[in-house]
A and B are shown apart, each in its own frame.
Chain A
């Protein structure tokens, strides 16, 4: 058996909203164990692609394969169980619930793996889930605020909570929608190290949409560039940064001319 070359394959993805074509025949592949960035100007269709992968949008045409699964045949709540977790650009936390319970809900899909009776057991009992939750809290540095309501956290920690909750899913594929947006430089450096560690040590595959180029260019193995719903380039960070089309559409001249 050959190992498949890609963990996630997107083929000819097209999404229409009424008359607007938001994503137009986009194809790309994500290698297992890699960090893959999706960049491009606002409105290029990056988040739309994410929402297709996580099954919030139904594409007009195209195919989505994750491992040996055809994602388009799966309802959105089955993805966590398959090992796909995501974060949200505009934060979708369970605001009135504690940090701990937010992360606990990340382990929800494992109820199916451990049997339905598990649904009726107390979620905070010691055991496998508890270890997983503690680990996610430690990894993201929010273990000390576990009893605080998500709504009451500062923005940086809310971002980390989004990540912790996604990690509790035990994903093989982690989809991060602008994880660095709004973070301070110091926080971005910490995020940088955290993502690299998740990928190199824990073997996760990460796809991220991001505008913070400092982060994208330092950690990505591969970059796909979208503009007006189409793919205009892809390659290593260095190759993409040197690509004329990408410079014109997104990166800008001064930055690249340095």
Chain B
């Protein structure tokens, strides 16, 4: 009951935010919500299913470029461009998942890292399509005929889509598919003996996780006017990984909390790009040493009376 009240208060505050907040605050809110969708997606793959896929930024980029190119060329409604980006990312995620089935642990991490870097190279080099190193201008998205020009215009859309992904995640986590994800993480052998199609579940986790990343990319295009391949490299994957580790792997609330905290950090340190990496590294290390199960782990311990 107390939790429900809290949820309603937060929801009302989120929907009322545009009435009081400045454009910058709304920009920040939009960006943080994109991070939330990104970390919810990576949490499904790494936190729930235990598969160390490190190509999240690539799927994010695929979502962004697909949405932008479709938007700039046709002016298609934003929900169409967003869904197209997410679906293409999911499709490529499915293929990557199928190819990666034979690998696990560090080999899986390395090969998906290589895939991510290859995709970033495509973004940076396919100049006629992506604008290459010059980046690409994003035309305002079209929502039922309205042009989304400012952060304020995009805010409600970003909020509703983010909430939809949050609800979807909670439902998946509670579902039998969610149990199957966790079973594969805990013991592939036992999972198979219980009738879980381990290969199918791994591929589904890859595709679903990529779908989230692609959708996050689509959301990004609704309030941004420019995209550059430099922001779609391994650093971004590491940032999202830090978010879910700090929040607590395998926890939905943790993924959201981690995204908000580290997203704020990254924005505050925007002027100090090189410091950013040092600080992520330090946070990751501190987390591993003192809170290996993240903020959620700390909370649980506190609730259990230490």
Contact = CB atoms under 8 A, between A and B. Distances in A.
Contacts, number: 94
Interface in B27-84: none
B193 interface: yes
Nearest to A104: B179
Interface in A81-121: 81, 85-86, 88, 92-97, 101, 104-106, 108-109, 111-112, 118-121
B245 interface: no
A78 B178 CA distance: 19
Interface in A104-158: 104-106, 108-109, 111-112, 118-124
A123 B175 contact: yes
A92 B193 CA distance: 10
A105 B188 CA distance: 12
B171 A120 contact: yes
A80 interface: yes
B196 A119 contact: no
B92 interface: no
Contacts of A15: none
B301 interface: no
A109 B195 contact: yes
B179 A123 contact: yes
A156 to B, nearest CB: 19
A95 B186 contact: yes
Contact of A121 (B175, B183, B195): B175
A16 interface: no
A108 B177 CA distance: 9
Contact of B176 (A56, A94, A96, A123): A123
Task: Give the one of A78, A97, A112 with max B CB within 10 A.
Answer: A97
A83 B174 CA distance: 26
A77 interface: yes
Given A105-B183, A108-B183, A76 B192 contact: yes
A220 interface: no
B202 interface: no
Contacts of A122: 171, 174-175
A123 B177 CA distance: 9
B182 A97 contact: yes
- Give the bracket for the number of chain B residues in contact with chain A: 20 to 34
B156 interface: no
Nearest to A111: B176
Nearest to A75: B197
Given A101-B182, A120-B171, A80 B176 contact: no
Given A93-B187, A94-B187, A76 B177 contact: no
Contacts of B95: none
A208 interface: no
Contact of B179 (A75, A76, A96, A101): A101
Nearest to B204: A119
Contacts of B264: none
A105 B179 contact: yes
B193 A119 contact: no
Nearest to B50: A96
A23 interface: no
Contacts of A36: none
Task: Give the one of B176, B180, B186, B192 with max A CB within 10 A.
Answer: B176
Contacts of B187: 92-95
Interface string A55-82: 0100000000000000000011111110
Given A94-B187, A119-B175, A120-B172, A108 B180 contact: yes
A163 B291 CA distance: 34
Contacts of B196: 77, 105, 108
27 contacts: A54-B193, A77-B195, A78-B195, A80-B195, A85-B193, A85-B194, A88-B190, A93-B186, A93-B190, A94-B182, A96-B185, A96-B186, A97-B179, A97-B186, A101-B179, A104-B176, A105-B183, A108-B176, A108-B194, A108-B195, A109-B195, A120-B171, A120-B177, A122-B175, A123-B179, A169-B194, A169-B195
Query: Top 9 A-B pairs ranked by shortest CB distance?
Result: A109-B195, A80-B195, A94-B186, A92-B190, A122-B174, A123-B176, A119-B177, A77-B197, A105-B183
